[in-house]
Each structure stands twice: as structure tokens, then as C-alpha cells.
Amino acid sequence: MRNRCVNRLRLVHTSSIRLRRSEQLEERSSGCKNLNKKKKGKIKSFSITDGEVVKWNMGISEHMRSGQLESALRLFETMPRRTSVSWNAMISGYIMNERFGDARHMFDAMQERDLVSWNIMLSGFVKNRKLSDARKLFDEMPEWDVVSWNTMLSGYSQNGLLDEAREIFDRMPSKNSISWNGMLAAYVQNGRIELARKLFESKFDWEKVSWNAMMAGYVRKQRLVDARMLFDRMPERDEVSWNTIITGYAQNGNMLEAQKLFQESPIRDVFTWTAMVSGYVQNGMLVEARKTFDEMPQKTAVSWNAMIKGYTLCKRMDLAKELFNAMSCRNTSSWNTMITGYAQNGDIDRARSMFNEMPQRDSISWAAIIAGYAQCGCSEEALHLFIEMKRDGEKMNRSTFTCALSTCADIAALEFGKQVHGRLVKAGYEMGCYVGNALLAMYCKCGSIEEAYDAFEGISEKDLVSWNTMLMGYAKHGFGREALRVFDLMRMKNIKPDDVTMVGVLSACSHAGFVDRGTEYFQTMEQEYGVIANHQHYTCMIDLLGRAGRLEEAEALMRSMPFEPDAATWGALLGASRIHGNTKLGEEAAKKILRWSPIILACVKKVPGYSWIEVRNKVHTFSVGDSVHPDKERIYAFLEDLDQRMKKEGYVSATKMVLHDVEEEEKEHMLKYHSEKLAVAFGILNVAPGRPIRVIKNLRVCEDCHNAIKWVEIETEFAVSGLPDYGMLRERTQENRKIRRIVEFSAGPTETKFATDSVGKQLVEGLIIVDEIQAALVFV
């Protein structure tokens, strides 16, 4: 009984002491709770040992590591004495828990900072891709150490800003292995292999990791001779060295050398075996891949996924599914491989079913299913999933953004594309080539040329695809002069044009009417740029001469070609003959096309013409004589009224475009409800005055719609993509109509699907109008 009483007294005594200490600490820390306001007066000094402060600091760090941020803050606020370590623990903890705003707030409130404080905040800016703020902070630092320099170097390198990274590297007063390896890795990862080589050759005491990184760079650039020379020079090799060179040969199709090195390798780990399996898969050698896979002493999920991917690439989804079901180490990547396989093989329903069954998804899962829907033509569902992904809280990666932008381009969802652009900027992605080119292509395909140029200017490091996309975008939408300015700028920046570039240049000359300039480019492109003229270049030149009425020169050029003219070449001559009324040459061209391959005409599969218009973030699709749109009655009533008013003004239907053997009145009726007329009517009824009505077609605008919309009594300025009389049309429209609203037409991304693209394209454009092929034409 006495012991119990004693214990109770001790407990009461201890509790009282703890309570008193707590009250004292509360009193002592009252002056420290508000960190952002300067306090008048002094906080009393207490005898707190360094050891006690260390324990408090360790407690803060522990709370931060476990995500208990509020507990860490309470602990920090009640500390009777703080050191810079205390503040640094709070700042780094906030950064670690992605509370960058709180970290910055704490840093700004800090009275005395040490070098560690500056470095922690600097790394926070870099981690959050705030490089301009990081550089500003770096320049403000009272001193730097190698960590400071390496942090900036890493920030610039990870975001592809290699010039800035090299400037930091060159300024460093002293460099360690992290500095050298960081700069080398930056060059390698960004494909600047020659700069990487020069840096590598400037130093002799590289570590193994650097040798391996340089060799991997050569492999990535398919420079296997250089990779092998480096491999043979290595003073010491490890598993990574052997696996890198084996993978290099395997990925480049040299499985004999890969197998030889595999046999010579002193250590074969699971990565070595997997490299061989992947190599066989990439080269379509599934039997050898499966044999190696079965012989593997141990397998990882990567090994299984490599084999499954092999089956999906060869469209053997039954075997892929069988292997997937047998996996004991199935992971998210396994599910992603199956989803991608089903989607790429056209079975989007099974892909979606697997997506729904996934126990856990990542950004790649979402990108795979979104891309699957986009590839099978279900663009609206693809965009719906993109929205759902955001709601699900999944972080979007570059692939997802790129896929979403490409999908917006496919259905001309410009407004949605702008929203994706906004999210892209908000996510902090720099406009490198990968995402920047997708954004540029989206604006070009949607006909928003000014915004396309802004996107082009925003690409940090433009590649040839960037330049070609901008140039072709200008050329496609009739801005010939602007396209040629882009070409001139390319040459000033020493960007070497390729065959695609020159097709765009010649097309731009054709649209702008620069016959002599186009002829000069055509004659000198092999000598100046190493581009040998192919069918497309000759076709562009024949089109250029033909549009200018120089039919004899166009015909002479075609007959001087070093290869037989194809249907597209004859089609260009036929189109020019039709425009300038040369019936004799037109008939000869049509007969040549029919003789060239009469079987093709029997195989033509006509895709129906569709027109899209986006209103209030929803894409409305119209086909000829559309009877399913919910607003159809209002649209048709408006068109009937409009048709009557237009005829009073002098409009006459271009019934010659209808090749069906029907009465004239029926021909007019068929022309009246073309998809583009329905889309424009819907736009007039629903788009607010002063805003553009943007209509996209998957096929070329027909002559009647072209003429009819000139008579529409609204403010009209046309930007009709690809039409031969674009310039004349624009001038005539501006003369005859007051400008109150803009109607823009852009050619859509899809073309007619047929056995031979060139023949089908000419058929769709209505350039071939001879009796023999009337049955093959379905007017839309």
C-alpha cells in the first residue's frame, strides 16, 4: 500500500514538473510565434545546451520526414533557442513535402542565414522549375560553394538549357566529379554528342559511370563504331558497360555481335538477359526471344514486359494475354503494355476494359488509353479522358500533353487546345521540341497561324521538325511570303533544309505566285542543300507553273523527269488545265491517269466529308444533309431563308460540280446542304458577333460552297486553306462585303483513304471530271 502511495506521489510530482516546464516554454516562446513580424524588446536568454537544441532539431526533421508538418511547426515555435540548423530543417522539410510557398516564407523570415540555408532554398527553386528565381537568388548569395554551382548546373541541365549550364560550368572556380559528370550527362541526354565528346576528351581521369554515360550517348545516336572504340578503351568495365554495348548492337539489328558479346560477358545479370530478349523482340525474332526468355535464370517484371511487348508488336495478343496472366510479378507497366497493345491493334474496347480493371494507374496508363482512343478516331472520348485524368489527380507528363494536343488538332478543337496549352504552362513544362512541336502543329492544323507563330517562338531549342511545321503551316494556309521568310531565317541560323522543307518552300512559292523564285529554289536545292528532287518536288513545280498559266513549261518539265510521272504529277497538270481551260491537255492528262492504273480507280474508298465547328468548348460535327444534329430544324430554316436572299443578290449554284445524272433543281438541293454550309449556319446562329467562326473540313471546300459563302450577308474575310484562288477570293470578298465577322476555313487533318493517295486526292478535289470515273465519285 505504501509503495502505491509513493508511486502516485511521484507521478503527481512528475506531472506537475512537466506542466510547469510546458508553461515556461510557452512563455519563453511567445516572442517567436509570429515569424514574419519584427518584435520590439528582447527575448529572455535561458541556459539551453547545444545537445538539447540538437534534439529539438532532430525532432523537427523527424516530423517533416513523416509528413507531420504542423507538429514540426509547433515544435519549432516552442523552441527556446533556435540555430540556423533549426530554420534549415523547417525550410528543407517544407520543400520535401512540396510546400514551397511555406519554405520561401520561412526563408524570407530568417534573420541570419548560412550557406546551407541559401543552398537549400536554391535547390527548392530548381526542384520547382523556377529557374529565373533560382538564378536571381544565386546572384544574391554572399558566397558559393561547389554545391551551389552544381545545383544551378543541374537545374539548367535538367531543363535542356545547355548554354546556361555550360556558362555555369565554365565559371566554377573548382569542380568535383559531380560537376564534370553533370555537364557530360547534360550533353548526352540532350543529344549534343559532339559537345559531349569534346568534354570527355578534355579530361582523362573519368569514373566508370562517365565512360558508361558517354558510351550510352553514342549508342543512342546509333554511332556504334564510336561506342565500340570507347568500350575497347575502357580501363575497367562493369555490368553496365557490357549491357550498354550489348543493347547497342541489339537495338541496331546486329544480333550476331550482340550474341557474341553476350557469350563473352564475364557477368550476366538479369539486365544482360533482358537486353538480349529486348533485342530479339525489336528485330522481330520472337522465337529466339522466347527461347532466351525461357532460359533466363531469373526474371524481373522488365523481362516479362519485354516479351509481352514482343507479342503485342507482332499482333499476337492471345500469346501476350497468356503471358500476362502467367506473370507472378505483374506491375503497372505490364498493364500499360497490354493496354497499348490492344489499342494499337484496334481493339479499343479491350484496352478500355483493362484500363478500368487496373489496380493502380500512372500517367503512362492514361497516356496509353488516351492515345488509343485518338488513334482509332474517337477523339472526343480521348479528350474526355484527358479531363477525367485531371479530375483523378494524376500528374500529366509530356506524353499526355502531346497526345491531348494532337487530338485537339485532329478535330480542330482550338479552344480546348488553348486550355491544354494553359495547363501545360501551369504545370511548369519548358517548351522543348517534344511538347512545343505538338503545340505548334495543333495551332497550324486549327488554322490559328498567329498563335502558331507564338508557339514557334516559344520553343526553346527548335529542331528541323519545328521549322518545317511552321513553314508548312504558313504555306498550307496561303501565307506564301511568311513561309519564305521562315525559310530565309532557317538559312541564317544554319539549319540545313531537308526534302520536306523544300516541298513546303515550293508549295509556298506556288500559293504566292513566285514562279521565278520557286524555279530558282528547285534548280539549286541539290547543289546548295543536298536535296535530290523527288516526285513531290516535281509535282509542286508543275503546280507552280500550271497555276501561273505556263502550261507548256509545266508539261515540258514533267516529260523531263528522271522517273515516270505518277498520278499526282498528272493530276497537278490536269488541275492547271482545268483552271486555264486547256481541254486538250486536260483530256490527255485524264487519260494518262486512267491508263496509269485503272485498277486503282475501282478500289477508291471515299471517306464522307465532314465539317467541324467548336462552340463553347464543344465540337459539333456535320455531314452532308445532316439529320441528327439536335439543332437541325433551326439550321435548315436559316439556310432556306439565306438561300432565297442570296439568289436575290445574284448568287447562282455551281451545279456543274454535281456529276450525278439528276435534274437541275435536285442538283441545287444537293449543294444546299453541304457540311460546310451547315457548320457556317450553325456558327452564325450560335457564335457571338465579333468572334471568328472557325470551320474545319476533312476534305477540300467545294467550289459551290466557296462561292456561296461569299454571298452570306455577314462580315466575311476568308482564309480558305489550299484553294487556288485564295488571294483573288480574299480581295473580292473585302470589296463586296462590309467586315463584321470573320469566317475561316481550314483543311482538316484527314484525307480520303484509298489505295493510292495521289489519285484519291485528285478525285476528291474534283479535278478529274470525265465520264469514265463518274461512278467512283460520291459528291459530299
Residue pLDDT, tens place only, 361-400:
888 888 889 888 888 878 778 888 888 887 777 777 777 8
Joined together, the cell numbers standing for residue 629 give 444534329
The whole-angstrom separation of Cα 489 and Cα 129 is: 30
pLDDT digit string (tens) for 127-170? Answer: 888 888 889 888 888 888 888 888 888 888 888 788 888 888 88
pLDDT at 350 (0 to 100)? 93
Range with lowest mean pLDDT among 81-85, 490-494, 742-746: 742-746
pLDDT (0 to 100) of residue 467: 93
Arithmetic mean of pLDDT, 228-237: 88
pLDDT, tens digit (0-9, with 9 covering 90-100), for 725-772: 333 334 433 333 333 334 444 444 333 222 223 322 332 232 222 222
DSSP 3-state percent helix, strand, coil across the chain (nearest 5): 65, 5, 30
> Residue 390 has which C-alpha cell?
485531371
Give the mean pLDDT of 412-424.
82
Q: Which carries the bigger pLDDT value, residue 664 or residue 469?
A: 469
Phi, psi of 694 (to 5 degrees): -110, 115
How far apart are the C-alpha atoms of 106 and 148, rounded to whole Å? Answer: 20
pLDDT digits (tens, 9 = 90+) for 562-572: 888 877 788 78
Task: Report d(CA 400, CA 179) in Å as an integer.
Answer: 33
Q: Name every residue whose Cβ is closer than 8 Å to that of residue 104 and which is 6 or more positions away in sequence.
A: 121, 124
CA 369 to mean position of chain CA atoms = 16
Residue 304: its pLDDT value, please? Answer: 92
512's enclosing H/E stretch is: helix 499-512
Residue 473 lies in a domain: no
How far apart, in whole angstroms, are the C-alpha atoms of residue 418 and residue 602?
Answer: 42
State the alpha helices, DSSP H only, in 83-173: 84-96, 100-109, 115-127, 131-140, 146-158, 162-171
Say what the pLDDT of residue 18 is: 39
- Looking at per-residue confidence, does 390 or 535 come out higher? 535
What does the pLDDT average to over 259-283? Answer: 87
**Where do the H-state alpha helices sit in 314-391?**
317-326, 332-344, 348-357, 363-375, 379-391
For the question of whether the overall pTM of this predicted structure is more than 0.75, the answer is no
Residues β-bridged to residue 614: 619
| Residue 744 and residue 730 in contact, taking contact as beta carbons nearer than 8 Å | no
CB 196 within 8 Å of CB 166? no
Residue 669 falls inside a structural domain = yes
Query: Mean pLDDT, the chain, as a whole number?
Result: 76
Residue predicted with more confidence, 672 or 564: 564
What number is the average pLDDT over the span 536-556? 88
| Number of compact structural domains in the chain | 1
The answer to whether the beta carbons of residues 545 and 523 sit under 8 Å apart is no
Give 430's pLDDT tier (boundaries 50, 70, 90): low
Give residue 687's domain range: 610-747
Lowest mean pLDDT among 3-12, 261-270, 302-311, 587-596: 3-12
* Separation of first and last alpha carbons in the chain: 104
d(CA 380, CA 383): 5
pLDDT at position 133 is 85
pLDDT at 468: 93
Residues 6 or more apart whose Cβ sits within 8 Å of residue 258: 246, 247, 249, 250, 275, 276, 279
Yes or no: say if 152 and 126 are a contact pair by the CB < 8 Å rule: yes
pLDDT at 714 over 50: no
Query: Would you state the pLDDT for residue 668?
Result: 63
Please check the confidence at residue 219 and state whether its pLDDT lies above 60.
Answer: yes
- Say whether pLDDT at 503 is over 90: yes
Residue with the bigger pLDDT between 138 and 14: it is 138
Q: Is residue 647 part of a domain?
A: yes
Cα–Cα distance between 237 and 439 in angstroms, integer?
43
Q: In this predicted model, which residue has the larger pLDDT, 433 or 199?
A: 199
Lowest-confidence segment of 309-313, 650-654, 659-663 by average pLDDT: 659-663
The pLDDT tens digits of the residues spanning 329-344 come to: 889 999 999 999 999 8
| Mean pLDDT, rounded, for 445-450 | 84
CB 495 within 8 A of CB 464: yes
* Whether the Cβ atoms of residue 670 and residue 779 lie closer than 8 Å to each other: yes
Q: How far apart are CA 573 and CA 582, in angstroms?
A: 10
In degrees, rounded to 5, the angle at the alpha carbon of residue 767 between the alpha carbons of residues 764 and 771 is 95
The order of strands in the sheet holding 693-697 is 618-623, 610-615, 693-697, 743-747
Average the pLDDT over 568-589 and give the result: 78
**What is the average pLDDT across 537-545?**
90
| Grid coordinates of 482 | 511568311
Any domain includes 155: no
Range in 74-88, 289-303, 464-478, 646-660 with the lowest mean pLDDT: 646-660
Strand partners, 697: 611, 747
CB 72 within 8 A of CB 93: yes
Longest pairwise C-alpha distance within the chain: 127
With residue 589 as reference, give the H or E element that holds it: helix 583-596
Q: What is the mean pLDDT of residues 594-622?
A: 67
Q: What's the CA gap between 606 and 776, in Å, rounded?
A: 8
Q: Is the pLDDT of residue 483 over 90?
A: yes
- What is the signed CA dihedral for 509, 512, 517, 520, rounded to 10 degrees? 20
Q: 613 forms bridges with which residues in the sheet?
A: 620, 695
The CA distance from 737 to 676, in Å, is 20
pLDDT at residue number 381: 85
According to the model, what pLDDT value does residue 470 have? 94
What average pLDDT score do residues 308-325 get?
Answer: 91
In a domain, 616, yes or no: yes
Classify residue 368 by burial, with Cβ atoms within 10 Å: 0-12, 13-18, 19+. buried
- Which of 710 and 694 is assigned the larger pLDDT? 694
pLDDT of residue 501: 94
* Residue 627: pLDDT band with limits 50, 70, 90: confident
Phi and psi dihedrals of 616, rounded to 5? Answer: 50, 50
Q: Beta strands 693-697 and 618-623: pairing type?
A: unpaired
Higher pLDDT, 101 or 580: 101
Predicted pLDDT at 5 = 43
Q: Are strands 618-623 and 610-615 parallel, antiparallel or unpaired?
A: antiparallel
pLDDT at 322: 92
3-state secondary structure of 238: coil
Give the percent of the chain with pLDDT over 90. Answer: 12
pLDDT in tens, 37-74: 433 334 444 466 777 788 888 888 888 888 888 888 88
Strands 610-615 and 693-697: antiparallel
Looking at the DSSP bridge assignments, the partners of residue 611 are 622, 697
Q: Which runs of E-coded beta strand occur in 274-432? A: none
Burial class from Cβ neighbours inside 10 Å (0-12, 13-18, 19+) for residue 325 reads exposed
Residue 230 burial (10 A CB sphere; 0-12, 13-18, 19+): buried
In a domain, 685, yes or no: yes
Grid cell for residue 481: 511570303
R_g (Cα) of the chain, nearest Å:
34
In a domain, 726, yes or no: yes
pLDDT, position 700: 64
Q: In the predicted model, what is the mean pLDDT of residues 461-482?
A: 89
d(CA 578, CA 57): 85
Nine cell digits for residue 678: 451547315
In a domain, 433, yes or no: no
